[in-house]
Amino acid sequence: MKLLDQVDDELAALAQDARHVAVLSGAGISAESGVPTFREVQTGLWERFSAEDLATPEAFEEDPALVWTWYRWRQSLVQAVEPNPGHLALAQWQKRLAQAGGSLAISTQNVDDLHERAGAEVLAHLHGNIAAHRCTDCDAVAELPAPGYDGFEAPPEAEDPPSCEHCTTGLIRPDIVWFGEALPMEAFEATMAAIRAADLVLVVGTSGIVQPAAGLPLLALERGTPLVEVNPQETELSETMDFVLRGPSGQMLPTLLE
Ligand code: BJW
pLDDT at position 44, please? 80
How many Å separate Cα 78 from the centre of its chain? 12
Say whether 127 is catalytic: yes
- What pLDDT score does 41 carry? 85
Residues 9 and 135 in one domain: no
- Per-residue confidence (pLDDT) for residue 43, from 0 to 100: 81
Look at residue 148 in the predicted model and tell me its pLDDT: 83
- In order, the DSSP letters of 51-104 are HHHHSSHHHHHH-HHHHHHHHHHHHHHHHHS---HHHHHHHHHHHHHHHTT-EE
Same domain, 42 and 113: no
Dihedrals phi, psi of 130, to nearest 5 degrees: -70, -20
Last residue of a domain, one of 144, 159, 176: 176
The residue annotated as part of the active site, out of 87, 125, 127, 133, is: 127
Would you say the pTM of this structure is higher than 0.80? yes
Q: Which residues line ligand 1 (CB under 6 A)?
A: 26-29, 31-32, 37-39, 55, 109, 111, 127, 176-182, 205-207, 209-212, 230-233, 235, 248-250
Atom of ligand 1 nearest to the CA of 25: 62
Task: For residues 134 and 29, state if they share a domain.
Answer: no
Atom 9 of ligand 1 has which residue's CA nearest to it? 211
**CATH number of the structural domain spanning residue 201:** 3.40.50.1220
Q: What is the pLDDT of residue 185?
A: 98
Domain end residue (candidates: 176, 193, 214) = 176
Annotated binding site: 71, 74, 109-112, 135, 138, 164, 167, 205-207, 231-233, 249
Domain hosting 8: range is: 1-35+83-127+183-258
Residues 6+ apart with CB under 8 A from 168: none
Are 165 and 193 within one domain? no
φ/ψ bin of 6: left (φ > 0), alpha (ψ from -120 to 50), beta (otherwise): beta
Residue 60's domain is classified under what CATH number? 3.30.1600.10
- Give 10-residue mean pLDDT values along the chain (258 residues): 97 97 98 93 84 94 96 95 98 98 98 98 98 97 91 89 96 98 98 98 98 98 97 97 98 94
Question: How far, in Å, is the centroid of ligand 1 from the Cα of 10?
Answer: 31
Q: For position 3, what pLDDT does the model report? A: 98
Q: What is the pLDDT of residue 235?
A: 97
Number of domains in the chain: 2
**ipTM here:** 0.96
